[in-house]
A = this chain, B = another copy of it.
Amino acid sequence: MPDTPWRDTVGTGSTSVPTVFFLSDSTGITAETLGNTLLTQFPAQHLERRSIPFITTVEQAQEVVAVIDRVAAAGPRPIVFSTTVSLDVRAVLARSRGHFFDLIGTHLGQLEQALHASASGQPGQAHGLGDAVRYQSRMAAVEYAIEHDDGQSLRALERAELILIAPSRCGKTPTTMYLALQHGILAANFPLVEEDFESLSLPKPLLPFARKCFGLTSLPVRLSQIRQERRPGSNYASLNQCTFELRNAEDMYRVNSIPFVNSASMSVEEISATVLQRMELHH
């Protein structure tokens, strides 16, 4: 913890909304991910959220406990999700006045038995540099995704593991970025444009790479709505045009045996998981 700005911003105001703390000896990503997943089971709850990463010493843990206890004194008992690994740090954090959820410690004993091995006790390796080769491949994939966004570059398309194709505004770009950043997939994306909708064939530059292509489609009403935000009142955003483009894109996918998914009610995370599964891409 090089700085601790949270000390000044947290825990003095009295409030009736419970505060949820995400505590970690590293980035806090795992604590936030599982904590928030658990909290989605209580959709009606209004909650304040505070992430405190990089808690690595007993002294820092004691400061954090003081913050939690101040919040506990001023309002409802806080919820505390922790992924800290050090036994000493965990022991201190567990003594706060919050409801303590030890997301790591709870499972470690069972996992030690299953693997016939002892936990290392080393904190925070999950979102560090870790496996350097894997990390570099993710960074290279981000670069590749930016360079090949929206059909900008046809260079090195043969290196792509995946080419996402779709009419404008169906979610190609954020999905490509997600697959690159989280999974290190070399992903290009390519827009379908007017001339593509007049034939049923893949855009010419993609013809040699048909087996790497995955299509996105959407619902005309949804697509029109998204395009209206970008270019209100345009033909581009009209329901007619969106209906035309989506129908033709889907026909084209079918004729060319391109797998596709309707992204209208899916997040980039859901689209990405679907693409990985259907294209059998694993790293």
Contact = CB atoms under 8 A, between A and B. Distances in A.
Interface of A: 1-3, 5-6, 9, 18, 26-30, 33-34, 36-45, 49, 51, 53-54, 77, 79, 83, 85, 99, 101, 103-104, 106-108, 110-111, 113-115, 117, 119-122, 125-130, 135, 138-139, 142-143, 146, 149, 171, 173-174, 177-178, 181, 261, 265-270, 272-274, 276-278, 280, 282
Contact of A30 (B28, B33, B110): B33
Given A3-B278, A37-B83, A280-B9, A101 B110 contact: yes
Given A41-B111, A44-B117, A139-B174, 10 more contacts: A34-B103, A37-B104, A38-B108, A40-B126, A41-B122, A54-B277, A106-B107, A127-B270, A174-B181, A181-B268
Contact of A117 (B45, B49, B120): B45
Contacts of A1: 277
Contact of A115 (B18, B85, B120, B177): B18
A237 B107 CA distance: 46
A122 B38 CA distance: 11
A126 to B, nearest CB: 4
A31 B6 CA distance: 29
Contact of A270 (B119, B128, B139, B266): B128
A273 B27 contact: yes
Given A30-B37, A43-B120, A277-B5, A135 B53 contact: no
A149 B265 CA distance: 29
Contact of A121 (B3, B41, B127): B41
B121 A270 contact: no
Contacts of A272: 27
Contacts of A121: 41
Closest 10 CB pairs of A and B: A127-B269, A41-B119, A37-B126, A27-B273, A99-B114, A40-B125, A30-B37, A33-B33, A142-B174, A53-B273
Nearest to A126: B37
Contacts of A101: 107, 110-111
A174 B126 CA distance: 18
Given A27-B273, A267-B135, A108 B41 contact: yes
A242 B121 CA distance: 36
A106 B108 contact: no
Contacts of A42: 111, 115, 117, 119-120
19 contacts: A1-B277, A2-B261, A3-B278, A5-B280, A34-B34, A38-B107, A41-B85, A42-B119, A45-B115, A53-B273, A53-B277, A54-B274, A79-B115, A99-B111, A103-B107, A138-B174, A146-B146, A146-B173, A174-B181
